[in-house]
Structure 1
Amino acid sequence: MKFTKASLLMIACGLPLYYNCLPIAAFAVQKTQVQSTNPKPDGLISQGFKPPKRKGPPVSAGGATRGTVCIQGKQLVTPLTPANKWGLTLAQRPQFFWYLPVSSAKTAQFLLLSEADKKILYETTLSLPNRPGIVSYTLPENAPALEINKTYRWSLVLVCDSEDFSTNPRFESLVERVQPEASLSQKLANADAQKLPAIYAEAGIWYEALSAIAQQRYSNPRNVHSMLGWRQFLNSVGLNAIASQPLLDCCQAENSASK
């Protein structure tokens, strides 16, 4: 005998209970329809950063310091980097991000140094916004291009006291430029902008992953998916305390010089 879905339902439930089973069946159908019409979105919603293994000596970058009273509250000026203050880039002139707390400082000194001999390669003075948030600065064309397989130290100093720089809040972080593997280059060439953050994050390329997902937030500041992806990305490297801070349009150089 060939059973239909309706007859199987009658056997399973029994005739007296047939009508009591209908809501359950309807709910199952409805649940399936909801799941099929709400696919998991692309991007970094469930993607954290996958830190690469670093070759060579241990990372040694100075942590953030509070400095003078020009910073209000307990938060420090903080680089957006993994916990060891070191990250990879593919770019000759990458984009750097940091969190700026409430401060009376109007400018900051940005420096790029060679890690090998601590020689200053580039420095500039940046104008700062008058409110707290996450800001960024991209090395300009007149800055030296980062060389492949070399490590550089980038530093930021809030100018609270122009007479005594030793008391000013500061931090240091490291950036190393690498050559992408052929498989990574192919993935990047075939990916749309929405998938770039996940590709960079999986490959351990910190600075491009951060820039890519920040660009999604810049383009769609009210988009829930980009906001969740941004927070998940920062939380994965221990930057939970500043993950909800706004992205500000900053910073412009007042002057700059290559060494």
Structure 2
Amino acid sequence: MLTAQPFSRSMLLTLAVCTMASAGLSGHTPHAMAMHQHHHLTFTMPTPPSDPGAPTGRREGGSSRGDKIYTLCKTEAEAANKQCATSRLTALVPEIDAEKQIWGLTTADHPEFLFYLSKFRTPEQPQTTRLNIEFVLQDENDQYVHKTRFALPLTEGGIIRIPIPANRDPLQVGKRYTWTLLTKFGPNETNYVHGRIYRVQMDTQRQQQLPTASPLKRLEIYLEEGLWFDAISMLVDLKQDAPQDLTLISKWNSLLDNINLKELATEPMLSCCTPEPHLSLK
């Protein structure tokens, strides 16, 4: 059975909370320093599961044409020459180590996944693009646990949440599952990201703390236990319930900063995603 344990080298990602930046303040006043200490959280990186042969994963999508993968366009000339991707797709997950393995832990039987999508604008492109998307979750035998297709009217970039419906089979403790999000931005432009998720059992003593813990204390427990998917989902819930809360904004900024996705911290959450079973990505 897999458990969330810290690296033996105590590999920690410090979630430094930038309260002053969120509030538009400058200078290190005593009050600001006290707020910084109050908002400090630590995310404990879990031990990589022993899983020989597991796929490495991919956090950042790119236009796939044949055997080539193209990164996001930076200029209109690049877009015109079709030597880059005109849409960005990013999974909101850590890249755990130097090999950029994409995986994370959860205690949820029906977890959710977060992704960022955007597009590079050119004069030829309409203001709104109907972006066809497919998401699949597969078990260790490549059997589908969940598969859904939908279209996202993409006007601006933003973050989407894709939950595993409660009517699907629950994830089993100690098992590996592979998720993939695929988009078809144009006839010759396919974007995809994929990675692994493992359901684990939290330590009994820690689990008993959850029912009486405050929401922020539960968030802290998830981070300390290395439960990435539980933590980010909970923080998004808290932010959506209190979108002007500077404490939550700071924690969100810090969380994404520490997985090197700080540029996405101010992106909006997009309404998504009504299944369209007959949608084709061909």
Q: TM-score range by the shorter chain?
A: 0.7 to 0.9
Large movers: runs of 4+ above 3 Å: 38-43, 71-75
SS of 2:138's partner is strand
**Equivalent residues of 1:42, 1:195 under 8 A apart:** no
Counterpart mapping for 1:162-241 below 5 A? 167-241=189-263
Of the candidates 104, 109, 117, which is equivalent to residue 100 of structure 1?
A: 117
User: Residue 77 of structure 1 aligns with which residue?
Assistant: 89
Distance 1:105 1:67 in 2: 17
What residue ranges of structure 2 are gaps of 5+ in the alignment? 1-29, 66-70, 75-86, 96-100, 121-128
Gap regions ≥5 residues in structure 1: 1-33
Percent identity, aligned pairs only? Answer: 26
Alpha-carbon distance, 1:119 to partner = 2.8
The one-letter code sitting in structure 2 at the alignment partner of 1:76 is R
Q: Distance in 2 between matches of 1:126 and 1:93?
A: 19
Q: Distance in 2 between matches of 1:126 and 1:49?
A: 33
Question: RMSD across aligned C-alpha pairs, in angstroms?
Answer: 2.9
Give, in angstroms, the shift of residue 212 of structure 1. Answer: 0.9
TM-score after normalising by structure 1:
0.73
Q: Match for residue 5 of structure 2?
A: none
Contact 1:128-1:251 at 8 Å conserved across structures = yes
Secondary structure of the structure 2 residue equivalent to 1:183: helix
Which residue number corresponds to residue 51 of structure 2? 57
User: Against the structure 1 CA distance between its residues 96 and 150, is the aligned structure 2 distance closer, same or farther, given a 3 Å change threshold?
Assistant: same
Check the 8 A contact 1:88/1:207 in 2, yes or no.
yes
- Relative distance call for 1:205 and 1:39 in structure 2 (3 A) is same
1:89-128 superposed matches below 5 A: 89-102=106-119, 104-114=129-139, 116-128=140-152
Q: Which amino acid aligns with 1:245?
A: E
Q: Distance in 2 between matches of 1:199 and 1:148?
A: 19
**Distance (whole Å) between structure 2 residues aligned to residue 249 and residue 193 of structure 1:** 24
Residues in 1 aligned to 2:267 and 2:42: alpha-carbon distance in whole angstroms: 18
CA distance, structure 2, for counterparts of residue 184 and residue 101 of structure 1: 39
Determine which structure has the larger helix proportion and give its number. Answer: 1
Deviations 1:37-80 (A, max 9, x none): x964898x3224221112213653332332269x9745730111
TM-score, normalised relative to structure 2: 0.68
TM-fit CA distance, 1:138: 0.7
Preserved contact between residue 130 and residue 153 of structure 2 (Cα < 8 Å): no
SS at match of 1:174: strand
CA shift at 1:217, angstroms? 1.1
The structure with more radius of gyration: 1
Matched-pair contact (CA < 8 Å) for 1:47–1:232? no
In terms of fraction of residues, the more strand-rich structure is 2
